[in-house]
Amino acid sequence: MTTRYGTRPTMKDVAARAGVGLKTVSRVVNGEAGVTSDMTARVQGAIAELGFRRNDSARLLRKGRTASVGLLLEDIADPFSGQLSRAVEAVARAHGSLLFTGSSGEEARREQELALAFCARRVDGLVVVPAGDDHRYLLPELAAGIAAVFVDRPAQLIDADAVLTDNVGGARDGVAHLIRHGHRRIAFLGDLPHIHTAAERLSGYRQAMAAADLPVDEDWVVMAPTDPSVVAASLDRVTGGPAPVTAVLCGNNRITLGVLRRLPSMVRRPALVGFDDLELADLLTPGLTVVAQDPAALGRAAAELLFHRLEGDHAAPRRVVLPARLIPRGSGETAP
- Of the two residues 214 and 257, which places its CB atom closer to a second copy in the complex? 257
Please tell me the distance from the alpha carbon of residue 291 to that of residue 165, in angstroms, as a whole number. 11
Please tell me the distance from the alpha carbon of residue 88 to that of residue 303, in angstroms, as a whole number. 5
- Of the two residues 127 and 209, which places its CB atom closer to a second copy in the complex? 127
> Is 142 in contact with 86 (CB distance < 8 Å)?
no
Please tell me the distance from the alpha carbon of residue 96 to that of residue 232, in angstroms, as a whole number. 46
32-61 binders of a second copy (CB under 8 A) = 51, 53-58, 61
Number of residues assigned to the chain: 336
- Of the two residues 37 and 120, which places its CB atom closer to a second copy in the complex? 120
- Of the two residues 61 and 210, which places its CB atom closer to a second copy in the complex? 61
**Shortest spacing between CB 16 and a second copy, in angstroms:** 18
**Shortest spacing between CB 174 and a second copy, in angstroms:** 20
From residue 74 to residue 93, the character string flagging contacts with a second copy as x (rule: CB under 8 A) and all else as - is -xxxxx-xxx-xx--x----
- Of the two residues 223 and 284, which places its CB atom closer to a second copy in the complex? 284
212-231 binders of a second copy (CB under 8 A) = none
- Of the two residues 83 and 165, which places its CB atom closer to a second copy in the complex? 83
5 forms part of the interface with a second copy (CB under 8 A): yes
Pick one of 4, 33, 34, 37: the residue that binds a second copy (CB under 8 A).
4
Pick one of 33, 38, 120, 335: the residue that binds a second copy (CB under 8 A).
120
140-159 binders of a second copy (CB under 8 A) = 140-141, 143-145
331 forms part of the interface with a second copy (CB under 8 A): no
**Shortest spacing between CB 203 and a second copy, in angstroms:** 29
- Of the two residues 8 and 194, which places its CB atom closer to a second copy in the complex? 8
Pick one of 7, 30, 36, 37: the residue that binds a second copy (CB under 8 A).
7
Q: Write out the chain in H/E/C secondary structure.
A: CHHHHCCCCCHHHHHHHHCCCHHHHHHHHCCCCCCCHHHHHHHHHHHHHHCCCCCHHHHHHHHCCCCEEEEEECCCCCHHHHHHHHHHHHHHHHCCCEEEEEECCCCHHHHHHHHHHHHHCCCCEEEECCCCCCCHHHHHHHHCCCEEEEECCCCCCCCCEEEEECHHHHHHHHHHHHHHCCCCCEEEEECCCCCHHHHHHHHHHHHHHHHCCCCCCHHHEEECCCCHHHHHHHHHHHHCCCCCCCEEEECCHHHHHHHHHHHHHCCCCCEEEEECCCCCHHHCCCECEEEECCHHHHHHHHHHHHHHHHCCCCCCCCEEEECCEEECCECCCCCC
Pick one of 14, 24, 25, 66: the residue that binds a second copy (CB under 8 A).
66
- Of the two residues 130 and 204, which places its CB atom closer to a second copy in the complex? 130
251-310 binders of a second copy (CB under 8 A) = 257, 260-261, 264, 278-285, 310
315 forms part of the interface with a second copy (CB under 8 A): no
**Shortest spacing between CB 240 and a second copy, in angstroms:** 22
Please tell me the distance from the alpha carbon of residue 86 to that of residue 296, in angstroms, as a whole number. 7
Judged by the rule CB under 8 A, the positions of this chain that interact with a second copy are: 1-2, 4-8, 51, 53-58, 61, 63-66, 68, 75-79, 81-83, 85-86, 89, 98-103, 114, 116-122, 124, 139-141, 143-145, 257, 260-261, 264, 278-285, 310-312
